Amino acid sequence: MLQIDLRGRRALVAGVADDNGFGFAIAKCLAEAGASVCVATWPPALNIFLTLIERGKIDDARRLSDGALLQFERIYPLDAAFDTLSDAPAEIRENKRYRDVGDFSIEGLAARARADFGAQGLDIVIHSLANGPEVRRALVDTTRAGYMAAVAVSAYSMVSMMRHLGPLMRRGGSALSLTYMASERAVPFYGGGMSSAKAALESDTRMLAFEAGRRWGLRVNTISAGPLASRAASAIGVVDQLVTFCAANSPLTDELTSTEVGNVAAFLSCDLASGITGTTVYVDKGYHAMGIAVAGPVPRRED
């Protein structure tokens, strides 16, 4: 019988700060398949996340099918806006939420992983990172700084992670990111350059698949997930309406769950998907296949 078997594999999931989003669900599904899991967390959220774990506040979410709790082999600080620590301005490095965590850059993350696990210590890298400081602005009203920030954190960080972490991954490994259909279709209210960032991420997935495949023997894919009412997605302002609208207009009309995305991530990370790379995989109940709306009001935000 075919099984998703990740025993003996080590995963690093970047972008986990609570138990509510795709990153956490992916980490849990990888663990269910037998992988050991490390996560990387935005420094301002790091102490809160550690406290949630220490006090058992997310034990129910961490419960695996065998009754054990999901354990993180390492929890690293990461601000993916910075390739190196010197890239971070002094006011960031000296901020009380950053100054005691060590090197929180992408280069720093790679250095810690190498120190902890050696030169070939990773098998799976998950990029579950996105941020657009002006996401609530229409694209036409987005500033240059806001646009570039969205692309830097939501797309370029994947390029940087592959450059720094690719050499630490064993041949046959898998790298995976998360995208959204706004990369190819207009989604009102998903502004601030985030739609452009997701388009860049998908384009980069194809090029990185070629380069990482030839250089290190790695696969690179991205999952285009449907909307999920996570804490992070609440920044959009109409996410609950998007969830309802997509469910009403998709071939499968139940709402998407984070576990469904996590299961596909686990599949793409295992040997059963050894022939899949450079691909955008839709996990959205089929919404991407629809040409017109068939039910429900168009999402509307009151500003």
**Could you give phi then psi for residue 170, rounded to 5 degrees?**
-75, 150
For residues 40 and 43, what is the distance between their CA atoms, to the nearest angstrom? 9
Based on the residue annotation, tell me whether 190 is a catalytic residue of this protein. yes
- Neighbouring-strand partners of residue 175: 125, 220
For residues 54 and 69, what is the distance between their CA atoms, to the nearest angstrom? 12
Residue 209: CB atoms within 10 A of its CB come to 20
Q: Measured between alpha carbons, how far is residue 243 from residues 5, 119, 228 in Å?
A: 32, 42, 6
Closest-CA residue to 161 (of 129, 131, 120):
129
The three-state secondary structure class of 174 is strand
Annotated active-site residue in 98, 156, 190, 287: 190
The three-state secondary structure class of 46 is helix
The token duo for 35 is 């992988």
Q: Which amino acid is at 172?
A: G
Contact 219, 167 (CB under 8 A): no
Annotated active-site residue in 76, 98, 147, 180: 180
- Express the helix, strand and coil content of the chain in percent, nearest 5 each: 45, 15, 40
Based on the residue annotation, tell me whether 156 is a catalytic residue of this protein. no
Residues in the chain: 303
The token duo for 64 is 């695996």
Residue 278: CB atoms within 10 A of its CB come to 16
Q: Token pair 């997310």 is at which residue?
A: 58
Q: Which residues are catalytic?
A: 180, 190
